[in-house]
Amino acid sequence: MNKNKIDIKNFTSEELIKVLEKGKFPKFYAKQIFIWIYEKRVEDFHLMTDLSKENRDVLQNMFYFSNLELLKEETSSDGTKKFLFGLEDGLSIESVFIPEVKRSTLCLSTQVGCKFDCSFCVSGKKGFKRDLKVSEIINQYLFIADKIRPDKITNIVFMGIGEPLDNFDNTIKTIKILTKQRGLCLAARRISISTCGLVPEIYKLAELDLKIKLSVSLHAANNDLRNQLMPINKKYPLELLVPAIEQFSKISNHSVILEYVLMKDRNTKKEDAVELAQLIVETGAKLNIIVYNGSSLDFSPPQEEEINNFKNELNKKGIFFTLRKSRGQDINAACGQLKSKIE
Ligand code: SAH
Strand ranges across the sheet with 69-75 = 69-75, 81-86, 92-99, 104-107, 155-158, 191-195, 213-217, 257-262, 286-291, 321-324
pLDDT reading at 343 higher than 60: no
The pTM of this model reads 0.96
Query: For 314-328, what is each residue's pLDDT tens digit?
Result: 999 999 999 987 888
Shared domain for 230 and 275, answered yes or no, is yes
Shared domain for 38 and 75, answered yes or no, is no
Task: Classify the C-alpha dihedral 189-175-36-130 as positive or negative.
Answer: negative
SS3 content of the chain, % helix, strand, coil (to 5): 40, 20, 40
Shared domain for 89 and 14, answered yes or no, is no
Domains in the chain, number: 2
Q: Output the residue whose Cα is nearest ligand 1's atom 24.
A: 292
Q: In this structure, is residue 33 part of a structural domain?
A: yes
Percent of the chain whose predicted confidence (pLDDT) is above 90 = 86
Query: For 179-222, what is each residue's pLDDT tens digit?
Result: 999 999 999 999 999 999 999 999 999 999 999 999 999 999 99
Shared domain for 23 and 114, answered yes or no, is no
Q: In this structure, is residue 221 part of a structural domain?
A: yes
Q: In this structure, is residue 149 part of a structural domain?
A: yes
- 3-state SS, residue 93: strand
pLDDT reading at 27 higher than 90: no
Predicted local confidence at residue 342, as pLDDT: 57
* Closest C-alpha to 122, from 338, 332, 326, 291: 338
Lowest average pLDDT, out of 25-39, 155-169, 266-280, 287-301, goes to: 287-301
Q: In this structure, is residue 46 part of a structural domain?
A: yes
Name the domain boundary from 64, 87, 112: 64
* Closest C-alpha to 8, from 49, 55, 61: 61
User: Which one of 120, 191, 248 would you pick to mutate in the ligand 1 pocket, going by the greatest count of ligand atoms within 8 A of its CB?
Assistant: 120
DSSP states of 126-195 as a string?
A: T-EEEEPPHHHHHHHHHHHHHHHTTSPP-EEEE-SSS-GGGGHHHHHHHHHHHH-TTTT---GGGEEEEE
* Closest C-alpha to 244, from 216, 212, 277, 224: 216
Shared domain for 153 and 261, answered yes or no, is yes
Name the domain boundary from 38, 64, 90: 64
Q: In this structure, is residue 24 part of a structural domain?
A: yes
Q: In this structure, is residue 1 part of a structural domain?
A: no
Shared domain for 74 and 53, answered yes or no, is no
Would you give the DSSP letter of residue 289?
Answer: E
Q: Give the strand pairing for 286-291 and 213-217.
A: unpaired
pLDDT reading at 40 higher than 70: yes
Q: What is the CATH number of the domain that holds 35?
A: 1.10.150.530
Shared domain for 157 and 288, answered yes or no, is yes
Q: What is the CATH number of the domain that holds 76?
A: 3.20.20.70
Distance CA 210, CA 196 (A): 19
Q: How far is the CA of 207 from the centre of ligand 1 (A)?
A: 25
Strand partners, 98: 105
Q: How long, in residues, is the chain? A: 343
Confidence of residue 167 (pLDDT cuts 50, 70, 90): very high
Q: Are 219 and 260 in contact (CB under 8 A)?
A: yes
Predicted local confidence at residue 285, as pLDDT: 97
Name the domain boundary from 64, 90, 110: 64
Domain span at residue 29 reads 6-64
DSSP states of 13-76 as a string?
A: HHHHHHHHHHTT--TTHHHHHHIIIIIS----GGG-TTS-HHHHHHHHHHEE---PEEEEEEE-
Shared domain for 48 and 85, answered yes or no, is no
Q: Is 282 designated active site?
A: no
Q: In this structure, is residue 28 part of a structural domain?
A: yes
User: Which one of 114, 121, 196, 335 is the catalytic residue?
Assistant: 335
Q: How far is the CA of 3 from the centre of ligand 1 (A)?
A: 36
Distance CA 44, CA 63 (A): 10
Q: Is 107 designated active site?
A: no
Distance of CA 210 to the CA centre of its chain: 15
* Closest C-alpha to 11, from 210, 211, 169: 169
Shared domain for 15 and 60, answered yes or no, is yes
Protein residues whose CB sits closer than 6 Å to any atom of ligand 1: 118, 120-121, 159, 163, 194-196, 217, 259, 261, 290, 292-294, 335-336
User: Which one of 94, 136, 163, 259 is the catalytic residue?
Assistant: 94
Shared domain for 169 and 53, answered yes or no, is no
Query: For 132-145, what is each residue's pLDDT tens digit?
Result: 999 999 999 999 99
Q: How far is the CA of 156 from the centre of ligand 1 (A)?
A: 16
Q: In this structure, is residue 144 part of a structural domain?
A: yes
Q: Output the residue whose Cα is nearest ligand 1's atom 18.
A: 336
Shared domain for 102 and 212, answered yes or no, is yes
Shared domain for 17 and 102, answered yes or no, is no
